[in-house]
A and B are shown apart, each in its own frame.
Chain A
Amino acid sequence: MSAGYQFYDTQMQRMDVLKEGAEVEIHVLERETMCSKAVRAKLSKSPDALENAERLHIYGRLGVPLPDTWYIQVLEELEEDELVSDGADVDHLLADMALKPSESFKKPRRQV
Chain B
Amino acid sequence: MGYADLREYISALDEAGELARVKDEVDWNLEIGAVMRRSYEVGAPAIHFRNIKGYGSEYSVLGAPMGRGRHGYWSRLAIALELDPHISYQELREEFIRRITSPIRPYQVSTGPCKENVISGPDVNLLQFPVPYLDDGDGGRYIGTWATTITKDLDSEWVNWGVYRQAIYSKRRAVGLILPSSHMGQMYYEKYEPKGKAMPFAIAIGTDPCVTIASSFACATRANEADIAGGLRVEPVQLVKCETNDLLVPADSEIVVEGVILPHERLPEGPFGDISGYRTLPRRPRPVYRVTCVTHRDNPILPVAASGGPTNEEQILTCLGTDAQSMQAFAKRGWQVSDCFSPPWMGAHYMAIRTKMPYMGFRDQLISAVRQTTGGRMLPVIQILDDDVEPTDIEMVFHSWITKCHPRRNIHIINETPVLPFVASLEASERDALEDHNRRYAAGSSLFLDTTWPLDWDPVIAIPPRASFVQIYPKEIQEKVLARWHTDYGFPVKEKNVEIRR
Q: How far is the CB of A100 from chain B (nearest CB, A)?
A: 7
The answer for the CA separation of A80 and B169 in the assembled complex, in Å, is: 11
Given contacts A63-B271, A90-B244, A102-B266, contact A35 B120 (CB under 8 A): no
Map CB proximity to A onto B285-315 as digits: 1 under 8 Å, 0 otherwise. 1001011110000000000000000000000
A50 on interface, CB distance cutoff 8 Å = no
Given A11-B282, A101-B265, are A63 and B292 neighbors across the interface (CB < 8 Å)?
no
Nearest CB to that of B266 among chain A residues?
A102
Known interface pairs A63-B279, A90-B244, A97-B262. Does A83 touch B127 (Cβ–Cβ under 8 Å)? no
Contacts of A59 in B (CB 8 A): 137
Instruction: Assess whether A34 is in contact with B141, with CB atoms less than 8 Å apart.
Output: yes
Closest Cβ–Cβ distance, residue A52 to chain B (whole Å): 22
How many positions in chain A have a CB within 8 Å of any CB in the partner chain? 37
> Is there a chain A Cβ closer than 8 Å to B267's Cβ?
yes
Instruction: Check B127–A10 contact: CB distance below 8 A.
Output: no
Given contacts A29-B140, A34-B140, A34-B141, contact A97 B292 (CB under 8 A): no
Query: Is the CB–CB distance between A11 and B284 below 8 Å?
Result: yes
Which of B34-42, B62-70, B194-202, B398-406 forms part of the interface with chain A? B194-202
Are A12 and B284 interface neighbours, CB within 8 A? yes
**How far in angstroms is the closest Cβ of chain A from B177?**
14
Contacts of B243 in A (CB 8 A): 87
Give the chain B neighbours of A11 by CB distance below 8 A.
282, 284
- Chain A residues with CB under 8 A of B265: 101-102, 104
Query: Nearest chain A CB to B200's CB is how many angstroms away?
Result: 7
Q: Are A97 and B260 interface neighbours, CB within 8 A?
A: yes
B268 touches A27 (CB 8 A): yes
**Chain A residues within an 8 Å CB radius of B175:** 36
Taking a contact as CB atoms under 8 Å apart, the answer to whether B170 and A36 are in contact is yes
Could you say which residues of chain A place their CB within 8 Å of the CB of B268? 8, 10, 12-13, 27, 36
B120–A98 contact, CB under 8 A? no
Chain B residue with the shortest CB-CB distance to A95: B198
Counting CB contacts under 8 A, is A21 at the interface? Answer: no
Whether A112 is near chain B, meaning CB under 8 Å from some CB there, is no
Q: Tell whether, in the assembled complex, residue A87 and residue B262 are in contact, meaning their CB atoms are under 8 Å apart.
A: no
- B245 in the interface, Cβ–Cβ < 8 Å? yes
* CA–CA, A51 and B220, complex, Å: 57
- Which residue of B245, B259, B262 contacts A100 across the interface (Cβ within 8 Å)? B262
Cα separation A46 to B259 with both chains bound (whole Å): 43
Given known contacts A35-B168, A63-B138, A98-B196, is B29 in contact with A1 (CB within 8 Å)? Answer: yes
Judge whether B121 and A86 touch: CB under 8 Å: yes
**Once bound together, how far apart are the Cα atoms of A102 and B452, in whole Å?**
56
**Chain B residue contacts of A87, Cβ below 8 A:** 120-121, 243-244, 292-293
**Does the CB pair A90–B245 fall under 8 Å?**
yes
Q: Which residues of A contact B (CB under 8 A)?
A: 1, 8, 10-13, 27, 29, 33-37, 59, 61-65, 79-80, 82-87, 90, 93-94, 97-102, 104
Q: Does B283 contact A (CB under 8 A)?
A: yes
Query: Counting CB contacts under 8 A, is B136 at the interface?
Result: yes
B196's partner among A1, A79, A85, A99 (CB-CB below 8 A) is A99
B292→A90 contact, CB < 8 A: yes
Q: How far is the CA of A106 from the CA of B350 in the complex (A)?
A: 47
State the CA gap A64–B293 with chains docked (Å).
35
Tell me the smallest distance from the CB of B129 to a CB of chain A, in Å: 13
The smallest C-beta distance from B201 to any residue of chain A, in angstroms, reads 12
A-B contacts besides A29-B139, A61-B271, A101-B264, 7 pairs, CB < 8 Å? A8-B268, A10-B283, A12-B285, A36-B139, A85-B293, A90-B292, A102-B266
**Residues of A contacting B138 with CB < 8 Å?**
63
Q: In the complex, are the beta carbons of A8 and B169 less than 8 A apart?
A: no
One of A35, A65, A83 near B137 (C-beta < 8 A): A65
CA distance in complex: A32, B169 (Å) = 14
Contact check, B245 vs A33: say whether CB atoms are below 8 A apart.
no
B263 within 8 A of A: yes
